[in-house]
Structure 1
Amino acid sequence: MPFYPVRTTTGREIDVALIIERRAKSSRLDVRSVVVPPRLKGFVLVEAPAPYVVLEVIRGIRDVRGGPGRRMEVDEVVKLIRPTPVIELIDVGDIVELVAGPFKGMKARVEFKDPSKNEVVLNILEAAYPLQITVPVDYVKPVKR
Structure 2
Amino acid sequence: MMEYDWLTSDIPDTVNAGCDKRIKKLEEKDDREKIVPMNISIKNIQGSKRKFNVNISTSLRLKDPSIEWKLKLKDNYTLSSNKNVEIEYEFELDGNKKRDLGLEIDTPIGGYEGDELAVELSIKSEDGINSYNKDFKVVLVPVIKIAKCTIGKELDIAIDLSNHAERDKEERREGNQNAENEVMAVMSPYEIKGYFFIETMHADRVEVLSKSIRGFKGFVTGDIDISEIEKYLTPKPAVSGLEMGSLVEIVEGPFKGERAKVTAIDAAKEEVTVQLIESMVPIPVTVKAEAIRNMDKT
- The TM tier, using the shorter chain, reads 0.5 to 0.7
Q: CA RMSD in A?
A: 3.8
Cα deviation 1:105-127 (Å, max 9, x = unaligned): 43211123221343333232112
Report the TM-score when normalising by structure 1: 0.60
Q: Which residue of 1 aligns with 2:293?
A: 142
Match runs of 1:65-144 below 5 Å = 65-66=219-220, 69-72=223-226, 76=230, 79-80=231-232, 83-98=235-250, 99-101=252-254, 103-129=255-281, 131-138=282-289, 140-144=291-295
**What are structure 2's unaligned runs of at least 5 residues?**
1-112, 114-140, 212-216
* Candidates 165, 171, 188, aligned match of 1:37: 188
Q: Which residue of 2 aligns with 1:46?
A: 199
Higher helix fraction: Structure 1 or Structure 2? 1
Cα deviation 1:74-116 (Å, max 9, x = unaligned): x93xx53555433114222222233335x55432111232213
Contact 1:33 1:46 survives alignment (8 Å): yes
Q: How far did 1:140 drift?
A: 3.9
Q: For 2:202, give the aligned amino acid.
A: V
Q: Which residue of 2 aligns with 1:5?
A: 144
Q: For 1:44, give the aligned amino acid.
A: F
Higher relative contact order (CA 8 A, sep 6+): 1
Aligned length: 135
The alpha-carbon distance between structure 1 residues 71 and 95, as it changes in their structure 2 partners (threshold 3 A), is closer
Distance in 2 separating the partners of 1:34 and 1:58: 12
Please say which of residues 29-38 and 112-121 is displaced more in the overlay: 29-38
The alpha-carbon distance between structure 1 residues 139 and 34, as it changes in their structure 2 partners (threshold 3 A), is closer
The alpha-carbon distance between structure 1 residues 24 and 36, as it changes in their structure 2 partners (threshold 3 A), is farther
Distance in 1 separating the partners of 2:256 and 2:168: 48
The alpha-carbon distance between structure 1 residues 125 and 3, as it changes in their structure 2 partners (threshold 3 A), is farther
Report the TM-score when normalising by structure 2: 0.35
Q: For 2:205, give the aligned amino acid.
A: V
Contact 1:3 1:72 survives alignment (8 Å): no
Q: For 1:69, give the aligned amino acid.
A: D
Cα deviation 1:36-86 (Å, max 9, x = unaligned): 424344343225xxxxx324634656554356613427x93xx53555433
Rg larger for: 2
